[in-house]
Amino acid sequence: MRRAGDLASTNCDAGGRSLRRRPSGFARTAERLALLVAWAVVVAAFGALRPATYLTWSNFSTIFGSQAVLVVITLGLMIPLTAGDFDLSVASVLTLSQMLIGILNVRMGWPVGAAILVAIAVAALIGAINAWFILFFRIPSLIVTLGTGTFINGVVLWISASQTISGVSDALVDVVVVRRFLGIPLAFYDGLILCAGLWYVFEFTALGRRMLFVGRGREVARLNGIRVDRIRFASLIASAVFSALAGTLYAGMTGAADPLSGLSYLLPAFAAVFLGATSIVPGRFNPWGSFIAVYLLVSGITGLTMLGIDTFVQNLFYGGALVLAVAASQLVRRRRPLEFS
């Protein structure tokens, strides 16, 4: 029996005979492991070019530990995409969350734990507002989240007076980047745990399966008794909460709150989530594919930087990766149209 999340399909004639050959077992395994193989090739290539600097534990520790923010925001973005909605406000929510932590903890003297809880609550409220506009007025999610994201950017600049707030509690910095396990900052393991938890939800819970069905076809899901609007509502709130968690990690990594730099995570997150859909569970947004895609992309950018390529290569790399990732995911889906609200 085919898995519910498998997007690959076989056309049949009126008699039920297959008109398209199913991929062989080897081909399916190759599809699932393609990102891991690509990651190994990237590491081997740059390792051969810069063995003294690239193939060091210090370099890999930095790569793993520094990308936890991107991992978490990518996982958050994947949730509404699975249910068929875009959320272009994730980077803005991240920026607002770390700014709230900076203002409450540094300027107002709040305990950092209380500041984090407020940031998460505000993020959940933003997710609920996004969902209300999308579901009540039936406005495409792309438009709503683009608008709310831009609005949030203005709020961040307003409450921060366009200034960076330094001096976030050492307790948060210590937990995120100072403490290490196997030489890797604990932030990496935070992203790993969230990825494993999300994988469990999608693979082994009714909620995860319903979300997949909603993303595959809302009307069919509704006719089968699934409360489509409730699933979409929950997915948008979860996306915002994950963005707030990413903002918390970002504040802990930098020890400060910056009103602009968090916005740069939007494009890499989209690139990673679509690239991740080409492997592990081909044709479907999936946590482990997205997790591997993040480190594949960052490993490539790190290697290019070590070769002396200018910093603009990061935009070229992420932008090109996004287009190629979407194209590759479409090939895996047998070029069927992507359907979002």
Nearest to 168 by CA among 225, 108, 208: 108
pLDDT tens digit sequence for 46-81: 999 888 889 899 999 989 988 999 999 999 999 999
Distance in angstroms (rounded) separating the CA atoms of residues 243 and 237: 10
Give the whole-angstrom CA distance, residue 183 versus residue 195.
Answer: 20
| Location of structure tokens 């730099």 | 261
When pLDDT is cut at 50, 70 and 90, the band that residue 1 belongs to is very low
Identify any residues that bridge with 180 across adjacent strands, giving them in sequence order. Answer: 185
Q: State whether residue 185 is helix, strand or coil.
A: strand
Over residues 293-318, the pLDDT tens digits come to 999 989 988 888 888 877 677 777 77
Residue from 165, 177, 175, 173 nearest 102 by CA: 165
In this structure, the number of other CB atoms found within 10 A of the CB of residue 137 comes to 8
Q: Give the global pTM.
A: 0.88
- Per residue in 129-155, pLDDT (tens digit) is 999 999 999 999 999 999 999 999 999
- Note the pLDDT of residue 140: 94
| Domains of the chain with bracketed CATH | 32-332 (1.10.3470)
Residue with tokens 């949030």, as numbered in its chain: 152
pLDDT score of 52: 87
Is the pLDDT at 14 greater than 70, yes or no?
A: no
Q: DSSP secondary structure string, 263-308?
A: GGGHHHHHHHHHHHTTSSSTTS--HHHHHHHHHHHHHHHHHHHHTT
Tell me what percent of the residues of the chain surpass a pLDDT of 70: 87
Contacts of the segment 114-120: beta carbons below 8 A, 24+ positions apart: 116/172, 116/248, 119/244, 119/247, 119/248, 120/241, 120/244, 120/245, 120/248
Q: Is the pLDDT of residue 337 over 60?
A: no
